[in-house]
Amino acid sequence: MTTAPSHPPTPAAHPHLEGARVLVTGASAGIGRSCAGAFAARGAHLILLARRLDRLQTLRDELHQLHDVDIRVFDLDVRDRTGVEGMVGRLASEGVLPDVLVNNAGLSRGLDPLHEGSIQDWEEMLDTNVKGLLYMTRAILPHMVERDSGHVINVGSIAGHIVYPRGNVYNASKFAVRALTEGMNLDLAGTRIRVSTVDPGLVETEFSRVRFRGDEERAEDVYRGYTPLSPDDVADIIAYVAGAPPHVNIFQTVVYPTDQRSPYVLHRSHTESEG
């Protein structure tokens, strides 16, 4: 495994993000966790959701040491429609609805040919990556429309652009995210609300551990011999997209590690002993 180079110094408060409220789903790990840090560093207040509340609480405490921003954390499964609606109702009654919604919570399970796939795995992927995103968006977007301002940023994937063998249902879920981003943009024409998708290639997070159900060796193999994207790389891009001036709608951002040019072209140059 090769570690991505460290990032430049922490950015300062951002003219379009300072004081904004950003909701990130799946903030307990990986890209979502890095988004929390990236937005807090730019002066945004945070609403962080995931099922592992203990992790969110620790993250909140760490970020509070560094940044003077308001941080709320919620134990929420995005597949729980009633729970999502209840949480958004609570934010509305407290007057803290988000200006930016980052639909990041997502996962892949397994890597099986379709005819051998687990229906339970399919349901988990579709319920989280597609329906969870829809529940969150359906609950929050009407408030954005009412205010005629807001930004929805969906975390898609290169898996939503190119199908790879055994990716089948995960690919389908990310193609759906891309279609929904496009559809929402069309439906919101005439408003000031922006909808974007950020679509990464290989990012070293807990993603492969989840995909292979805790098989550490198989998960580590995914990132061996090249430099993958780090979750901070992707979070910086998401913060950039969110921080663009209000008249600029960055529709779609596809980002690969330099060592990967397609799901089929990955340059693994380093051996384990070379680090």
Ligand X SMILES: NC(=O)c1ccc[n+]([C@@H]2O[C@H](COP(=O)([O-])OP(=O)(O)OC[C@H]3O[C@@H](n4cnc5c(N)ncnc54)[C@H](OP(=O)(O)O)[C@@H]3O)[C@@H](O)[C@H]2O)c1
CB atoms within 10 A of CB 219: 19
CA dist 63 → 25, 45, 68, 168, 261 (Å): 17, 11, 8, 38, 34
Q: State both tokens at 129.
A: 């990556």
Q: Please, which residue, 16 or 201, has the CB nearer to ligand X?
A: 201
Binds ligand X (CB under 6 A): choice among 7, 13, 51, 250: 51
Q: Please, which residue, 18 or 77, has the CB nearer to ligand X?
A: 77
Indicate the burial class of 218 (C-beta count within 10 angstroms; 0-12, 13-18, 19 or more).
Answer: middle
Say how far apart CA 98 and CA 136 lie, in whole Å.
Answer: 11
For the segment 235-264, give every residue that binds ligand X (CB under 6 A).
none
Say how far apart CA 168 and CA 31 lie, in whole Å.
Answer: 23
Considering only 12-20, 48-56, 91-99, 178-186, which stretch makes contact with ligand X by CB under 6 A? 48-56
Say how far apart CA 17 and CA 236 lie, in whole Å.
Answer: 13
Q: State both tokens at 269.
A: 């140059």
Say how far apart CA 30 and CA 151 lie, in whole Å.
Answer: 21
Q: Please, which residue, 147 or 261, has the CB nearer to ligand X?
A: 261
In whole angstroms, how large is the CA radius of gyration of the chain? 18
CA dist 210 → 60, 103, 108, 218 (Å): 23, 18, 7, 11
Binds ligand X (CB under 6 A): choice among 17, 22, 46, 50: 50
């909701």: which residue's tokens?
23
- Identify the active-site residue in 135, 170, 223, 256: 170
**Does residue 181 touch ligand X according to CB under 6 A?**
no
Helices (H), 67-159: 81-93, 119-125, 133-147
Least spacing, CB of residue 226 vs ligand X, in Å = 13
For the segment 196-215, give every residue that binds ligand X (CB under 6 A).
200, 202-203, 205-207, 210
Q: Please, which residue, 20 or 56, has the CB nearer to ligand X?
A: 56
**Does residue 78 touch ligand X according to CB under 6 A?**
yes
**Does residue 29 touch ligand X according to CB under 6 A?**
yes
Q: Please, which residue, 2 or 28, has the CB nearer to ligand X?
A: 28
- The residues that bridge with 103 in the sheet, in sequence order, are 154
**Does residue 37 touch ligand X according to CB under 6 A?**
no
**Does residue 28 touch ligand X according to CB under 6 A?**
yes
**Does residue 266 touch ligand X according to CB under 6 A?**
no
Active site residue 264: no
Least spacing, CB of residue 160 vs ligand X, in Å = 8
Contacting positions for ligand X (CB under 6 A): 25-32, 50-52, 77-79, 104-107, 128, 132, 155, 157, 200, 202-203, 205-207, 210, 231
Active site residues: 170
